[in-house]
Structure 1
Amino acid sequence: MESEARPEPQSTADLSDSSDGEGITAARVLQEIENAWLNEKFAPEILPHQSDFVDCMLQQISHMEDNMQKLKKTDLRFTVHKMEIDRIRFVIASYLRTRLEKIEQFAISILSDEAKRPPDEGYLTPGELKFAKEYVANIETLFTSIALQYMPRQFQAFDTKQLMLKPNLLAHVFLRVNRDVKGIALPGTNEIIDLDAGTQHILPYQPIASLLKEGAVRLI
């Protein structure tokens, strides 16, 4: 008697999307999320969100979990795919948590910068924007309440901008170059350098910020 064939859970290498004429695998999406996670983790400022990749991978996780239900828990494939799902969840959770921590730290500055961008070029997701606004509103309510209760009348006026913190864009970062870049001017010096693809450097963040957002470099 032939053994019953069991379907293989879909892994991160099995997803494809030909909506743009070219296939994009789930493995490629995961790589993009991991790059976004490390970039966000090491960049001093908040970066443009990568919610499309996150949503795509969450859907892939759901599909993998559905397929895993067709396997026995004693099957080695079940264990392997569970470990893979746990790893993906960790990366996504850390990426989103890092962004929220930056919003909490630089909320006023982030909202100020976000207001200057066209709606379709915003760095925050709608949920993050709502969170940032509510966070600042709660701070205003708290400090206004404290001022009215404990401060002399002449000091009761409260300006939110007094609490504005800005990220240190001159902080040094460790980066890998994805493609050749010419003519990078280093702040505070007269030095201009070229970055060759595949090389690694420690540089101030400010002159490579736009390169990071364009994908010419990535942080490590």
Structure 2
Amino acid sequence: MSESLSDDDISQEECQEDGMTPADLIAKLEEAWRNEKFSPELLASQSEVVECVMEQLTHMEDNLQKVKKRDPKAAIHHMEIDRIRFVLCSYVRSRLQKIEKFFPHVLEKEKSRGKGEPSLLSPEEFAFAKEYAANTEDHMKSAALSHMPPILQTLDMLKAVPAPCLDSFVFLRVKERQENILVEPETDDQSEYVVDLEEGSQHLMRYRTIAPLISSGAVQLI
């Protein structure tokens, strides 16, 4: 239904920051949503895309008020707005669930990221992660640790909370041809396993192997 975004009754404005049309924005949001949904770890924040889509939703809802209620386009545009809102909410919810599940590792990765390396978290997500971590630690101390001997009253959250399983397998579609992708390293039992990924092909592969390709946009999870 993304084509309906180009109709006269829907906003024709582009996101000034990225120079993308509304249809481009929705496609980028949907790709970010699928990648986040199927990735075992938290991916880099797409907050700019989220903000642009929210702006477009506002424009769409405003323009929808100008459409006659009996116009067949109105029902179609209502469905499109609901679909986009669902994808947007699901994307944000998926990220918050991962932050709650892996908060020590998320904060540690954010703390140790190099200069110029994109942040995993938006400012709002970072504030949420810190508050969630503080509340969790306070609860652990009041509910259990404070009642234990002093030697047992410290808790390493990085060790206590399981890290994302980067060796899990994911389905992916190749957007740009990739050569010499190392699938399995050389071991005593087998030789090095390297493959070429053809554009448009689909694969089931270990996430750790193709994680950099997701960040670069060369592949997308499905």
Say yes or no: TM over 0.5: yes
Determine the C-alpha separation between the residues in 2 that align with 1:58 and 1:84.
14
Matches within 5 A, 1:45-64: 45-64=41-60
Determine the C-alpha separation between the residues in 2 that align with 1:214 and 1:114.
19
Determine the C-alpha separation between the residues in 2 that align with 1:63 and 1:99.
26
What amino acid sits opposite 1:63 in the alignment?
A: H
What is the Cα deviation at residue 9 of structure 1?
2.2
Greater mean alpha carbon deviation, residues 120-129 or residues 150-159: 150-159
Determine the C-alpha separation between the residues in 1 that align with 2:17 and 2:48.
14
What is the Cα deviation at residue 160 of structure 1?
2.6
TM superposition outliers: structure 1 runs of 4+ over 4 Å:
17-20
Matches within 5 A, 1:59-74: 59-74=55-70
Identity among equivalent pairs (%): 44
What is the Cα deviation at residue 188 of structure 1?
4.9
Change (3 A) 1:145 1:196: same
1:175-206: CA deviation from partner (whole Å, max 9, x where unpaired): 00001101111235521111011100000001
What is the Cα deviation at residue 154 of structure 1?
3.4
Please tell me whether Structure 1 or Structure 2 has the larger radius of gyration of its CA atoms: 1
Determine the C-alpha separation between the residues in 1 that align with 2:151 and 2:110.
32
Give structure 2 stretches of 5+ with no counterpart.
1-6, 187-191
Determine the C-alpha separation between the residues in 2 that align with 1:42 and 1:209.
12
Q: Cα RMSD (Å) of the superposition? A: 2.0
SS at match of 1:121: coil
Q: 1:173 touches 1:219 (CA, 8 Å); kept in 2? A: yes
Give structure 1 stretches of 5+ with no counterpart.
1-6
Greater mean alpha carbon deviation, residues 109-118 or residues 93-102: 109-118
Greater mean alpha carbon deviation, residues 185-194 or residues 56-65: 185-194
Paired residue for 2:80, among 80, 84, 89?
Answer: 84
What is the Cα deviation at residue 161 of structure 1?
2.8
Determine the C-alpha separation between the residues in 1 that align with 2:197 and 2:94.
28
Structure-2 residue corresponding to 1:103: 99
SS at match of 2:62: helix
> Structure 2 length normalisation: TM-score?
0.88
Change (3 A) 1:119 1:125: farther
Q: How many residues align?
A: 210
Determine the C-alpha separation between the residues in 1 that align with 2:197 and 2:122.
32
Determine the C-alpha separation between the residues in 1 that align with 2:200 and 2:129.
37
